[in-house]
Structure 1
């Protein structure tokens, strides 16, 4: 095996530089219900075959792909032998400070978790990943160089996402009020599940917020709020060892029974059943 790569990447914890981690990948790997760190993760596959589930949706792993993870997402994967790739992890703080103008600074929904690359895009990105590895390993290289290299890689990925489908890229440029709504939702969904709460913070009427969200996203504001709460519940039920009681309290419910009733109304399953794998 080419010694540029290593196997079993989850335990490879060195080579961390200023909110940036680079990990070379190789070989088969399988894991269930892994909760992402509070970071953005970019996996660039040179060669790959398998299945990757991101927040309970399945995607095929293939050659010449980028897999993108937002903070806190839940993952399962079964990657076959012969896979080769690179993983770049940047902290949420790094993204907020350095990735202004990209999809990773302004969006709170991972609309494009998988990006397929053409040959030119693949070769360009491969060269950049080789360079960042070399620079991280070279103790004489200034950290600022590594930071700029990571920014370049992520800006290239952002550009490649736009190039893949310009019509689809245009759809992701959502109304600024919707973006603000998502920001508020991320900060406050455990605190409030009321449309009125978010409308008030946006200086809008609940009716207008609902109309705007429905027009832009095809769902009501309440649907978006409930979907975020349910997603976080599912992430924690499968991706953490927290008790159901603690999850309920963290998500703003007064008791296990009120939490269980809410989840059942929205999904048709009870939290205990979901955690035990009965769904």
Structure 2
């Protein structure tokens, strides 16, 4: 969250933090979730290449990893909740994305509420604000239960038919960006024979400004495959190509693929093919 990596939850009054209007925010890539409830106000949210106008009685949420900004034209009554994946998992639900897959949605326009619907959400936000200012030792758990209700309301009203796999097949920016980086790393091997490539989960997450756990959840939800699955399957495919179509030694191939020891590579290869790299090379040698 802004200026303090130790803060996992906060709720703020938008008019209090933006007293001079109109206001145009800088472009940023946040590492937290945000839920914005606007009772009276207007402006636009910009998410990657999308622009969403919003007005009175609307709710909007964003998740980590996106390039985002916003403009406020007016803001008389509005609140924003910002919380991290850690807070959600520890205080709302340990399998937060399984229970609420819409949290992985990448394109989420603001949703305008009816008067009755908005009042329910407003009561929740106000109660969260009250508990946040309280010094109870159970504060996080109490707030977590209220966030659970908020997520249930959102799930019930707007996301009953949300299917992250369908979104992933068509327009997932995070999945596309990950695949591009993955291919770039392997291009160094197949094209330029440059090692030592970086095939660790942490590396890919850092390139996308995401937590490794969040990136893994996005990939698993939207493609059905985990981060390690993607890396392993591509590593296996490229290693087969190098064994058959190059004269590189097993030690050189191991190094190119990021393994510190050839025995580690051999163990990985045999586990996935039932053959040692040497036996696979012999069996598939070009005539």
- The answer as to whether partners of 1:43 and 1:88 remain within 8 angstroms in 2 is yes
- The answer as to whether partners of 1:41 and 1:87 remain within 8 angstroms in 2 is yes
Structure 1 segment 92-171 matched on structure 2, within 5 A: 92-95=85-88, 98=93, 99=96, 100-105=98-103, 107=104, 109-140=105-136, 142=138, 143-162=140-159, 169-170=160-161
Aligned residue for 1:67, secondary structure, equals strand
Structure 1 segment 1-279 matched on structure 2, within 5 A: 19-26=8-15, 27=19, 28=21, 30-95=23-88, 98=93, 99=96, 100-105=98-103, 107=104, 109-140=105-136, 142=138, 143-162=140-159, 169-170=160-161, 172=163, 174=165, 189-192=180-183
**What TM-score, normalized to structure 2?**
0.51
Q: Specify whether residues 137 and 104 from structure 1 end up closer, same or farther in structure 2 by C-alpha distance, changes over 3 A only.
A: same
Structure 1 stretches of 5 or more lacking a match? 1-9, 163-168, 196-215, 218-279
State how many pairs are aligned. Answer: 178
CA deviation map 1:90-143 (0-9, x unaligned): 2123345623321345x3x42323111111210000000000110010112512
Structure 2 stretches of 5 or more lacking a match? 187-221, 224-287
Q: Specify whether residues 91 and 45 from structure 1 end up closer, same or farther in structure 2 by C-alpha distance, changes over 3 A only.
A: same
How far, CA to CA, are the matches of 1:186 and 1:19 in structure 2? 27
Aligned residue for 1:174, secondary structure, equals helix
**What TM-score, normalized to structure 1?**
0.52
Residue 159 of structure 1, CA deviation: 2.2
